[in-house]
Amino acid sequence: MMPHFSYKTSKKDLQRRGTLDTPHGSIQTPFFMPIATRGAVKQVTIDELKGLGASIILSNTYHLFQRPGLEILKKFNGLHSFMGWDGPILTDSGGYQVFSLSKMRKITDEGVRFQSEIDGREIFLTPESVIETQLTIGSDILMVLDECPPWPCTREEAEKAVKRTIAWATRSKVYFEKRMKQKRIAPEKRPLVFGIVQGSTFLDLRKRCVEELSKLDFDGYAIGGVAVGEGMEDKQTIIKAIAPLLPADKPRYLMGLGKPEEIVFAVQNGVDMFDCVIPTREARHGQLYVRKGAITKKSFYETIKIGNEKYKFDKKPIDPHCPCYTCTHHSRAYLRHLFSINEGLALRLATLHNLAFYLDLMKELRK
Amino acid sequence: MMPHFSYKTSKKDLQRRGTLDTPHGSIQTPFFMPIATRGAVKQVTIDELKGLGASIILSNTYHLFQRPGLEILKKFNGLHSFMGWDGPILTDSGGYQVFSLSKMRKITDEGVRFQSEIDGREIFLTPESVIETQLTIGSDILMVLDECPPWPCTREEAEKAVKRTIAWATRSKVYFEKRMKQKRIAPEKRPLVFGIVQGSTFLDLRKRCVEELSKLDFDGYAIGGVAVGEGMEDKQTIIKAIAPLLPADKPRYLMGLGKPEEIVFAVQNGVDMFDCVIPTREARHGQLYVRKGAITKKSFYETIKIGNEKYKFDKKPIDPHCPCYTCTHHSRAYLRHLFSINEGLALRLATLHNLAFYLDLMKELRK
């Protein structure tokens, strides 16, 4: 098989600059994936996403499985055609959602049994079924089912989760390869499948997880179970210790992170891929990003709360240097007004800006 | 003063085709005004409005007065620069809102005293203050303060409202002309001011109102107090009887209407201008317009309820002949999905489509 990832490493730190090939096109790394949990980035059209420079989006297997459901996705021959996005899509396995959203769940070595929080029906997920669902979705990058322990957890709990994560990853890979053979997928149409490293804050457990997963020769490796409640220091310790251990010739993905400075930190430690709800969620709460200077500065940005009284008469755009639609068309005062009357356009304009901030940050990091 | 309106009448009915000049550009009549009550068309950007072919928008004096408030609008030198729209703006006087929204109100010949439904403060509107507010807003077309009686009402009530509407219109015109002189407005920058015909379903009262208002030489004339609860037949009777009586050399505006067939009927009776919440409000409820054939046909369109189960797998766009963004990018099934997960993008895509339907209908009527 052809290598799907090529990269160069920076001379001064561990930062990498690369290209990741997927069935729906090549992506320049490091990159950030806007979140389209249920097949739509909230408030934003596909043309806008492209205009902002988004090269890949993330959707969620667990949420798509529930709504719209596989029956519809099958009829549409997958999510790309259903939502009208022709670029790459990565799907999260849903492991995190099962563990964080569902109260009624039972984990066995076989899989996870839980009740849908939407219609109460019982769902049984296995590593195999989760891969199969992602094949139905038509993902370009599939994530394996993992067990994400809560934070804090005991060493024993973390160890158990790592063991199960490795076992499930193994089954996932075997099943994936079997299905690729059955489906006779051409090499350039073959999706990628990524393993996920767990182990909570126990670095030796995470290292063991890396070693075992590396043997399975995944197409990429993710650090999971970070930003689940632990502090900044713990996060940094994990990133710094684990990212460089992940196979260098494969893309490295830090799941669910993070704040801009966390992304910069992770990139400097050799991480290539990111996703996070922060820019879009904060936008909907009127929390907007303003760049303050070079990334090398400690505080290279600030966030402003647009609802604040002090922006009432402010004719400046959110960020005078930002090239996004919102900043080139509207003032802070107008945005504040739109938020004050609960106008949907406010959420949209704010989301466009925050996504532009994140995607421009990635552009800069790629330079 | 130069005439600001020129037109030709159809040979087969009363339909007119004209050009209306305003300080922010000329508009082809007949036209439809998307509603930007508080300085934003819900869910839609200004670039999208232009792309849809909207040549003028409507905002509301009463709502703008409350939020963002005049202080902000003054700082921004008016609504155009505050919201970033450089085309013409018509502002409704707020008369209708005062009478329909406010429970605590007292009408005297002097004006209307009422309590804000937002912050409870007492507001006193006079014909003069309403003109002044619209000058602050920077409207291209100002509407006078009128008294819109409820439906049904007695002949006595209607007569009283007509009398007051005429008296207020007279004061409005006098005040407007005085202010134009004081401000030394150049002819091409002079906004237009429209009178409003009331009289409920009593045609003789409406005729008397037309006669009196005609003497005041307004820049245009509106039929108000229609679609306030009366039936289709009453509406048609009023339009058919009153529209042709309005001064022919001035634009005629049917306020707050209506359904597509009502607009077609009114155009055929010589009305030039329309505004209505229907397309945007129905869009937000997932009620979408589909053209069925020529305007001459009785049922030239239908509405579909996109949430309906039968669209679950429907790969067709809302309307296969519609050139809007929504119809050229997405299926009914996808829109249905977005509505089912309460995604804001659903409201936006639906609004774009329904506005396209209305604006395309007007384009066709202008042919």
CATH (domain of A94): 3.20.20.105
Beta strand segments in B72-208, E: 89-92, 105-107, 112-115, 122-125, 141-143, 192-197
Tell whether A348 lies on the interface with B, counting CB pairs under 8 A: yes
Range of the domain at B300: 284-363
Tell whether B74 lies on the interface with A, counting CB pairs under 8 A: no
Q: In what order do the strands lie in the sheet with B16-22?
A: B5-9, B16-22, B25-29
Whether B32 and B106 share a structural domain: yes
CA–CA dist A167, A156 (Å, integer): 17
Whether B247 and B289 share a structural domain: no
SS3 of residue A163 by DSSP: helix
| pLDDT for position B125 | 93
> Helix, strand, coil % (nearest 5) of chain A?
45, 20, 40
State how beta strands A192-197 and A220-223 pair: parallel
Whether A31 and A170 share a structural domain: yes
| pLDDT for position A312 | 98
* Cβ contact, residue pair A345, B44, below 8 Å: yes
**Contact by Cβ (8 Å): B330, B317:** yes
Beta strand segments in chain A, E: 5-9, 16-22, 25-29, 31-33, 57-60, 89-92, 105-107, 112-115, 122-125, 141-143, 192-197, 220-223, 252-254, 273-275, 287-291, 301-305
Q: Which residue would you say has higher pLDDT here, B87 or B104? A: B87
Q: Which residue would you say has higher pLDDT here, B210 or A3? A: B210
| pLDDT for position A1 | 57
Tens digits of residue pLDDT in A31-66: 999 999 999 999 999 999 999 999 999 999 999 999
Whether B224 and B316 share a structural domain: no
Question: What integer best gives the mean pLDDT of chain A?
Answer: 96
Tell whether A281 lies on the interface with B, counting CB pairs under 8 A: no
Whether B301 and B249 share a structural domain: no
Interface pTM, i.e. ipTM = 0.97
**Contact by Cβ (8 Å): A17, A7:** yes
CA–CA dist B246, A295 (Å, integer): 66
Query: In a mutagenesis test of the A interface, which of B343, B351, B352, B355 is the best target, namely the one with the most A β-carbons within 10 Å?
Result: B343
Residues from chain B that touch A85, judged by Cβ atoms under 8 A, are: none
CA–CA dist A366, A360 (Å, integer): 10
Whether A13 and A123 share a structural domain: yes
Q: Name the pTM for this structure.
A: 0.97
Tens digits of residue pLDDT in B224-240: 999 999 999 999 999 99
Place of tokens 């494969």: A250
Question: What is the arithmetic mean of pLDDT over B171-199?
Answer: 96
Whether A23 and A138 share a structural domain: yes
Cα separation values, A221 from A141, B61, B347, B357, B361, Å:
11, 58, 38, 49, 54
Tell whether A184 lies on the interface with B, counting CB pairs under 8 A: no
Domain's final residue, options B275, B302, B325: B275
Q: How confident is the model at residue B97 (pLDDT cuts 50, 70, 90)?
A: confident
Closest CA to B318 of B354, B293, B284, B282: B354
Residues from chain B that touch A41, judged by Cβ atoms under 8 A, are: 345
Cα separation values, B119 from B59, B96, B113, B367, Å:
21, 19, 15, 47
CA–CA dist B147, B172 (Å, integer): 13
Q: How confident is the model at residue B48 (pLDDT cuts 50, 70, 90)?
A: very high
Closest CA to B162 of B220, B91, B234, B212: B212
Whether B118 and B263 share a structural domain: yes
Domain's final residue, options B275, B303, B326: B275
Task: Measure CB to CB from residue B348 to each of A67, A325, A348 and give the nearest one.
Answer: A348
CA–CA dist B80, B83 (Å, integer): 6
Whether A64 and A114 share a structural domain: yes
Catalytic site positions of B: 92, 275
Task: State both tokens at A14.
Answer: 């561990």
Domain's final residue, options B239, B257, B275: B275
Whether B265 and B331 share a structural domain: no
Judged by average pLDDT, the poorest of A96-100, B73-77, B123-127 is A96-100
Whether B15 and B145 share a structural domain: yes
Closest Cα in chain A to B329: A84
* Cβ contact, residue pair B345, A42, below 8 Å: yes
Q: How confident is the model at residue A94 (pLDDT cuts 50, 70, 90)?
A: confident
CA–CA dist B121, B25 (Å, integer): 37
Residues from chain B that touch A333, judged by Cβ atoms under 8 A, are: 68, 72, 75-76, 82
Closest CA to B16 of B300, B364, B365: B365
Please calculate the CA angle A214-A215-A218 and round it to the nearest 5 degrees.
60
CA–CA dist A334, B255 (Å, integer): 27
* Cβ contact, residue pair A68, B343, below 8 Å: no
Residues from chain A that touch B341, judged by Cβ atoms under 8 A, are: 38, 40, 67
Task: Measure CB to CB from residue B43 to each of A38, A72, A344 and give the nearest one.
Answer: A344
The domain total for chain B is 2
Whether A313 and A264 share a structural domain: no
CA–CA dist B272, B204 (Å, integer): 23
Tell me how many residue pairs between chain A and chain B have CB atoms under 8 A apart: 104
Active site residue A219: no
Closest CA to B351 of B261, B288, B274, B260: B288
